[in-house]
Amino acid sequence: MAKQIVPAILTDDIKDLKAKLTSVAKLTDWVQVDIMDGNFVNNTSVSLTDLAKLPHSSNISAHLMVLNPEKYLADCKAAGVKRVLVHFKSSKDIGVVLKKAKKMGFQVGLAISPKVFIEQIKKYIALADIILVLGVEPGFGGQKLIPESLNKIKELKRISPKKLIEIDGGVTLENISEISEAGADIFVIGSGIFKTDNIKKTIKQLKRKVNPNLLNLWGIFTIKK
């Protein structure tokens, strides 16, 4: 699978959500929308009901930074979400949540914040399609990548080489190659895309950095710049 660049939309303004969805439409296969309840993280966002009102052509991934995420799965389905990312610390039994989400047909990601260690989630890895390593404390964009996150990615790749690993938080053009070499497959990026002056150009550069030898449309190997 080619590595994925996923723009992350963290906002409490439905107009901003609409504008950002439009700005990245057709530029990436997936787009992430951050859903925050003000309890699991100290921030709030647009709702899944807001998202359901907006037409979108991309595959939508919902990063549920909420307590008891199982309560949000029906609204995710109604909003056309295809991938849900639930936090290890968000439920008394995250295994039940992962199984329920799988049964509902979602692609399922298990998210671990910086203070959660691989040892704590080992028995749940098999229940998830993706393991999401937060590169920052969840809830806010524009933070600096916590360097230890790279060790978590390497450790996950070592113990579960076939599992897709996602990184979210603090990813930029400057550090994405190092994160890719550590083993990440999916790169969720907010300010590293939306705060640049040319979103389309930035996404193209990010893609090239993580898929340096990807055949381009004409089947020609791209030269790693």
Among residues 7, 69, 139, 183, the one that binds ligand DX5 under rule CB under 6 A: 139
Count residues binding ligand DX5 (CB under 6 A). Answer: 20
- Considering the rule CB under 6 A, would residue 168 count as an interface residue with ligand DX5? yes
Report the chain's C-alpha Rg in angstroms: 16
Name the residue nearer to ligand DX5 (CB basis): 33 or 101. Answer: 33
Closest contact distance (angstroms) between CB of 101 and ligand DX5 is 18
How far is C-alpha 180 from the geometric centre of its chain's CA atoms? 14
Distance between CA 163 and CA 166 in Å, rounded?
A: 10
Please tell me whether residue 120 adopts helix, strand or coil conformation.
helix
**Identity of the residue, 11 or 91, whose beta carbon is nearer to ligand DX5 in the bound complex:** 11
Spatial contact of 51 and 77, defined as CB atoms under 8 Å apart? no
The helix (run of H) or strand (run of E) holding residue 137 is none
- Of residues 59-98, which lie at the interface with ligand DX5 (CB under 6 A)? 63
Q: Choose between 143 and 211: whose C-beta lies nearer to ligand DX5.
A: 143
Q: Which C-beta is closer to ligand DX5: that of 138 or that of 183?
A: 138
Contacts of 82 (CB under 8 A, 6+ apart): 59, 60, 61, 106, 107
Identify which range of 18-26, 138-146, 196-204, 214-222 contacts ligand DX5 by CB under 6 A: 138-146
Give the C-alpha distances (Å, rounded to integers) separating 25 from 52, 68, 172, 188. 16, 30, 20, 15
Stretch that binds ligand DX5, among 66-74, 98-106, 123-131, 169-177 (CB under 6 A): 169-177
Within 8 A by CB and 6+ apart from 91, the residues are: 67, 68, 69, 70, 97
- Residue showing tokens 């989400």: 101
Output 69 or 190, the one with its CB closest to ligand DX5: 190
Which of 189, 203, 206, 210 touches ligand DX5 by CB under 6 A? Answer: 189
Q: Cβ 132 to ligand DX5, closest distance in Å?
A: 9
In the complex with ligand DX5, the residue whose CB is nearer, 182 or 188, is 188
6 beta partners:
188
Q: What are the structure tokens assigned to 195, written together? A: 């705060």
Per CB under 6 A, the segment of 44-52, 66-74, 166-174, 197-205 that binds ligand DX5 is 166-174
Binding residues (CB under 6 A) for ligand DX5: these are 8, 10, 34, 63, 136, 138-143, 168-171, 188-192
